[in-house]
Each structure stands twice: as C-alpha cells, then as structure tokens.
Structure 1
Amino acid sequence: MKKYLFILLLLCVFFTNAQTDFEKAARIDLMLRVYTKKNMFCGSVLIAKKGKVLLSKGYGMANNTSALANSPTTKFKLASVSKQFTAMAIMILQEKGKLSTEDKLTKYIADYPNGDKITIHNLLTHTSGIPNVTALPVFDSIKGKPHTLEQIIALTKDKPLEFEPGSKFKYSNSGYILLTYIIEKASGKNYSDYMKENIFDPLGMKNSGLYPPNGILKNSAIGYTETNEGLIQAAYIDMTIPAGAGALYSTVEDLFLWDQALYSEKLVKKETIEKIMTVFLDNYAYGWMVTKYKEHKKFFHGGGIEGFNTVINRFTDDDMCIIILKNVDNYQLFNANKMATAIMFGEKFDLPTEHKMIAVNKSIYKTLVGEYELKPGFILSITTDGINIYSQATGQDKYEIYPEKENFYFLKIVDAQIEFNKDDTGNITSLTLYQGGAKMPARKIK
C-alpha cells in the first residue's frame, strides 16, 4: 500500500512540472505500473523519439504457469498489425516487377467470381467488397482447425460482393489472406520464407516471423482472457487461418527497427513508402490508418486476436513511435495507448475510473438484447448466451460487457460504458454509449 501511494505521489510531482521526453516516459512507466497493479494492463511497451528509445519495458506475466515475465524481447502475436508487413511485401514485389497493384485478382485465381473487377489495390485498401471471413457465422466453429490458404479463401470465394469494388471501404481480413496467396504465387516462395528473406532479415528483426503451426515459440507470451474467476488461457485459434492478415509475431524492440526503417530506403524507395502511406478511402492506406492527433500526423494500426491486443503509432512529424503489445485481451489497451500518447504530447492524463462488476439476475440480459443504431449503417448489437452478455459494433469483434448497475454496463477491452434507457412503460428503447469523453445515443431498431 505504501509503495502504491508513493507512485501516486510521484505522478503528482510529474503532473506539476515541465518535463523532458525522458521524464514523460518515466511518468508513463509509473502509470503502467499502476495499471498493472490494478489488473488493467499486461504486456510490453516501447516509446522512442528521434531514434532514441525512451522506454522499453515489460509489465505483468508473459506466462503465468512458468512465471515468465513480459519483457522488451517477449514475442507477441501481432494480429492485424501484421497487415502492414503484408502490404510492404506486395510493394517490394511491385518494385521488383513481379506484380502490380493494378493487377486483377483473376491473374492469380482465374476462376474467382468478379475477380476481373477486383485489383490488388482494392485488397490492400479494404475496398474489394469481399465479405470478411472472420465475420462469417461459421468462423467460430472452424477457427481451431488448421486450414490451407486455398481452404480459407474458399470460405468467401462464392459469396456475393457486398459492394462494387473501389466504391466503399469495409474492413475485411479476407483481402489480406488473398494477398498472402498472391505473394506466394508472385514470388515462388512460401509467405513465411518471403517475409523472413525480404523484410525481417534485412532489418535485423530476429524475433519476428510467421507464427509456427505447432504453436511452439520460445520466449513468447501466452494470451489470456479475464473472467469473473480470474485469468484463463484465451480460446484457441489455429494460426494458419489469419495468415498475412494477422498471423505474424514480433517484439516491441523489433517493431522499433521496423519504425525506423520506414524513414529510410532499406526495403523500398522513398516514393514507394509514400504510396504505402497514401490514404484511399476512410483514412486507410496500405496496411496503415492515417489521421492526426492534435495536428500531429499519425500513422497507426491496431490488432486483436484471441488473448492479444496490439498497436503501433508513428507520429512522423515528430519522429516518435509508441508501440504497445498486450497479452490479456480484455484489459484496456486503448487506455494505455491514449495515456501514453497524451503524456508524450505534454497533456495531463488521470488514472481511469475503476468499474466494478455486480451480480445481477441473468434474466435481465434478455431484456437488453437487440440492435441499436448509433448512426445510419453503424449498429451496436447486444446479445446473450444466457450466461454472459456481449456488445458488437458493425464490422468489429464481439466483446463481453459487465454490469455495474442493473442498466449500466462497462467494457474491459476499452474505456467504454453502455447505459440502457427505458421508456415510461419500462421497456428498453435506447442505449447511450460513453467513450472517449463522448456521449452517443443509439435508438433500438430491432
């Protein structure tokens, strides 16, 4: 208890003085130690600016059974952070004249329905219209079994396009699984070898690669899920399924090497880097999201897969990166990410409010089930299996929500809360989503 109070006192000191970058990083370290102590964070973090590492450290346990602690060299599943590497592999092949981003999908899979309308560019930018394989109803029942690329592709191959290619953005892992197949066809090598020889080895990323099919990887983190009874090992997913959409692993230190390489021409020419980082639709480029934070240009991508959440942020105007890899999938990654970003830009950031779960009659869950429209085309679906209750936003994964009051629930994966609203007759007619300081009403439509 005394140690905890001492940390809080130090935080107060840091809040009240102008800070150097190293002092900001030290403050982030203190905050992360508090988060870890409060069971709100478990993973590894690296922060660097102008080529200097300010913080590189692990928090919590990589493996509870073997008492292996997280460290800067712990290997984590990258989930969708893998996409930027797959995009780079495509652009290396283009520079070598092996393919073009304007190639049609039918060049690589001759009988792919509507493949003559879909380009590699569409696959890179999530504008192909191909349904997202991980959103298929069948996905949960097959994700634990090994698949070939052809078998994964077949799951969506004959399904109708959701829109005309190039006309809309809709995030789809299917596109990056197809890109994995194209890389193998165009290079004549398997994806794992190609990535090693053309990206990881040239950059000295010795602790990065394609997650092995047998799941055995030295010094790697185990993915966990928090339950009411404590941490349990996360549900199994066979890593042959996500392929280039989410099956790579790395460390925070290796990802810093990757960040620095993107300022150079170690892999591709400067103009190719610029093409990779150019937005097409909805702030999405080639494996990167592009936005601004307080007028600071930001390139980033997050990822989530059973037991893991990841994010890499690159603030290129400031030559600064923040890398967070986490191995408890419903601890709040985005609280840690938001906190680190705010502090590095000299802003105050308070410890998040603690939300505590209460026991409620599970029959209440059925009264909350439904679809709630946050805005046209963007729905928050509330479902229950009779034991737990879940929320799922359009195009996103399903996450458990926890009752703090009978009509007020919170998420653990992000700092967000949901309040269910009743009409005069006692029926649930809407909800209010609280996230990032915003209050977002949603009418029940189904």
Structure 2
Amino acid sequence: MQNIEAQVNEYLQVHTNKYYFSGSVLIAQNGNILISKGYGMANYELDVPNTPQTKFRIASITKQFTAMAIVQLQEKNLLNVNDSISKHIPDYPETGKQITIHHLLTHTSGIPNFTSFPDYEQTMMIPSSVETTIDKFKDKPLEFTPGEKYSYCNSGYILLGYIIEKISGKLYETYLQENIFQPLEMKNTGYDHYSNIIKNRASGYYMTGNGSINAAYIDTSIGYSAGALYSTVEDLYLWDRALYTEKIVSKASLDNAFNPFLENYGYGWLITEIFSHKVVGHNGAINGFVTNIDRYINDDVCIIVLCNNGFSMINVISKDLAAIVFGEKYELPKERTAIKVDPKIYDAYIGEYELAPNFIITITKENDQIFAQATAQSKVEIYPESETEFFYTLVYAQITFVKNEKGEVTELILHQNGQEMPAKKIK
C-alpha cells in the first residue's frame, strides 16, 4: 500500500507540476482506500486547494445515475426498457414509436446529438426547460434505424430524465435524491444549479499560453440528466460500494446494466478491459472539467479521477493509475525539448485539419512561430521536436504532420490521451 501511494503521488505530482493537473483522486482495493487526495486548486483566484471533499461537476458520469433510476422504475413495474418512448411521451413525433427506452440507454436510438449542433456554443449559455431542449432535436430526422448502430447521444439521456419525471411525478433531481443519494448517504452529490451556494464547489478552468482561464459558462439546465450533477471522489466511492450490493436494485438488474451492447456500452456504463482486467467505467467532460470512474469489478478495485482543468489527460491518468495498482508498466510524462528548425517549413503546415465532423484543428504561423487552435479552444503555440513532430507545453499532447510521396502535407496525427487521432487536411 505504501509503495502504491508513493508511486501515485510521484506520478500525479509530475502531472501537476508539468501539465497542470488539478483535481482529486481516490483509489481503493478490496474495500480499503489506498489514496484519497487533492492536487492543484479548486479555485485559483482564492488559492483554495482541491481536497477529497471538493465538489466537481461530474459531466457524463451523471448518465449512470439516470440509467439506474430507469432500472429502478422498471423494477417497480412502472416502465419496461422495451417500451417505445411514445408510450411515455405521447406527443413525441412519429419516430418515437420506433425508439425504445433501451435504445436511449445504449446510445442506439439514431436521434441526433444536440450538443454537436452548430449553435450549441451559443445556446449552452441560455437556461432551458427540458421541453425546450427536446424541441431542439425531436423533429430532426433519425441518423440511422434505431438499434442498428451505436452513436453517443446526449439527446437520448435528456429524454430519459424527462421520462423519469413523467413516471415518478417528481423532478429528476428530487427523484435521485430520494431514491439514490439519500439511501446511500451521498450527502455531497446533487444537481449543480449555478445560482445555488454549494460549499466546496470547484471552479472549472482551461490552461492557455497566458496561464489559467475560467471555462466558458454553461447553464446546467442544458446538461440536465445527461450531465448536470456534481459529486466528490468520496461520494462516488460510496456509489461504487453500493453497486456490489442490492441496496438500489437487484443483482439481476445490475448484471443487465453492466451487460455490454453495441460498442461495449451498457446502461450508463462502458464495459471494457484494461491490462486484461474487466472494467466497468465512464468518463465525462463539460466546460472546465473532465472526470472518470473505473470499477475493476472482478478485482474490487475502484479508481476515481475528478479534474477541474478541462485539458487534463483523464484517460491516460486513469489507465496509468490502474497500471500502478496492478503492477503493470507505465511512464511518467516525458520532458520534451524544442529544437531549432527553419521557420519556412511551417508554411506547408498552415491550414485546417478535420479531426471529426464540426471539429477542426487550425494551424497558423505568426512571427516565425507555429500555432494550433482546435474548435472552441484557444490558440496555443506548438514546438518542434523534429521537422514534422511538434508538442504542446500546456497539455501532454503531440502533433505529427504527414506527407505523401510528393512531399505534400495531407494530414496531421494528434497524439493525446493514449490515442492517435488522424485529421485530414481540408484547406
């Protein structure tokens, strides 16, 4: 245990000192907490440090609580996951007859994801009732036949929250408090209303070339049942413990929730393997926050990482912490050194690269320096390690420019969070 704690502290201090990790971490094994600690600041303006009691927006970790509420209602025979959504939302358009609650839970509904709409950055700041949010996507055509494909969809989880309210006759947040949080004594978990005074609530940040900036405002009514909750690492550990019992729902219902459907997604959980150990987990991202909970259910290991720097490498950090626990190989973030190159080579890299639909990385050159700017993010300088390989200093990420046989730049590859993501040059 002491060795694990020392390794974790060394690892996270490097991330904190070099790459601005800011958050709280809890690691437990066989019912014993090995480490529960805060790093960085909950509020940089007031110099308030993060602690295990700091409350973070948990973003899409919210979905597992929404899914569990649906499972509870099914156990009470108030719905069936095979019901069409039209059964519970009669005024939903005709497509609602094809879509089941199961489709919503597993991201297989075909409904367009409203947080990917072009106007989302503007509308996210405006308070919205659940009905108004649903109006944004309900009349749009389905992207595929329900059940045919997996496509991550916040819209579906908004509809689930609405169904919970319709069936229970209670506000979504009230239902969760009465049926999950209070029974499990999760006293530091709730719906993150911006106007409420919530003690120990962290502020959300991003790192830029000029230091920390406050994350853009988002009204939490937008996240609703897809991403509006806050919690602490300690409360989420209470949640982990409860999921080994039948305090909330039966074992049969839990087993079904943890059953992987298309793309290994269950009911609010992603079921995968890391280091040949089964893990039931989920991550989240919302303005200024990234979060992750991984439950290695055959090993009784739980790793929870909640960050209030939106650029923190949540996937890499969570996986490396698991490596420490399981005695697997991992690496401390490497110290990278810029070399001198002829700035003229930057000219070939200038342009736009499409990483995903509506997500572009723009490369520019100013005063013999090269910059990268992703959609909705700040422009930051990148530094050469070679004539084609560049690195960021504010986040642990790298860019490789790829040329064809004619020497023309055709794409870049973004190396981040343990992934290699190609982006085709489109301009």
TM-score, normalised with respect to structure 2: 0.89
Partner of 1:40: 20
Shift of 1:183: 0.6
Partner of 1:12: none
| Candidates 52, 73, 80, aligned match of 2:53 | 73
Query: Quick one: distance in 2 between partners of 1:412 and 1:131?
Result: 35
**Do the aligned residues in 2 keep the contact of 1:26 with 1:55 (CA within 8 Å)?**
no
Q: Which amino acid aligns with 2:350?
A: T
Shift of 1:107: 1.7
Shift of 1:342: 0.8
Query: Quick one: distance in 1 between partners of 2:146 and 2:217?
Result: 33
TM-score, normalised with respect to structure 1: 0.86
1:251-290 equivalences under 5 Å are 251-290=232-271
**Do the aligned residues in 2 keep the contact of 1:399 with 1:411 (CA within 8 Å)?**
no
1:266-415 equivalences under 5 Å are 266-355=247-336, 367-371=350-354, 381-383=360-362, 389-391=372-374, 402-405=381-384, 407-410=388-391, 415=396
Distance 1:441 1:42, change over 3 A: closer
Query: Quick one: distance in 1 between partners of 2:195 and 2:117?
Result: 25
Partner of 1:174: 155
Query: Quick one: distance in 1 between partners of 2:267 and 2:194?
Result: 27
Distance 1:183 1:401, change over 3 A: farther
Distance 1:412 1:73, change over 3 A: farther
Instruction: Give the 3-state SS of the residue equivalent to 1:85 in structure 2.
Output: helix
Shift of 1:186: 0.7
Shift of 1:365: 9.4
Shift of 1:36: 1.6
**Do the aligned residues in 1 keep the contact of 2:274 with 2:319 (CA within 8 Å)?**
no
Q: Which amino acid aligns with 2:256?
A: K
Structure 1's unaligned 5+ residue stretches are 1-20
Query: Quick one: distance in 1 between partners of 2:415 and 2:348?
Result: 19
**Do the aligned residues in 1 keep the contact of 2:349 with 2:401 (CA within 8 Å)?**
no
Query: Quick one: distance in 1 between partners of 2:332 and 2:163?
Result: 46
Pairwise CA RMSD? 2.8
Query: Quick one: distance in 2 between partners of 1:105 and 1:135?
Result: 22
Query: Quick one: distance in 2 between partners of 1:121 and 1:426?
Result: 50
**Do the aligned residues in 1 keep the contact of 2:208 with 2:394 (CA within 8 Å)?**
no
How many positions carry a matched residue from both structures? Answer: 417
Structure 1, residues 265-318: CA drift from partner, whole Å, max 9, x if none? 000000010011011100100000001112211111000000100000000110
Partner of 1:99: 79
Distance 1:412 1:281, change over 3 A: farther
Query: Quick one: distance in 2 between partners of 1:72 and 1:436?
Result: 24
Pairing 1:194–2:175 present: yes
Partner of 1:124: 105
Query: Quick one: distance in 2 between partners of 1:203 and 1:372?
Result: 41
Structure 2's unaligned 5+ residue stretches are none
**Do the aligned residues in 2 keep the contact of 1:357 with 1:402 (CA within 8 Å)?**
no
Distance 1:410 1:115, change over 3 A: farther
Pairing 1:136–2:125 present: no
Distance 1:355 1:401, change over 3 A: farther
Partner of 2:136: 155
Query: Quick one: distance in 2 between partners of 1:356 and 1:173?
Result: 40
Distance 1:379 1:307, change over 3 A: closer
Query: Quick one: distance in 2 between partners of 1:259 and 1:95?
Result: 20
Shift of 1:210: 0.7
Partner of 1:49: 29
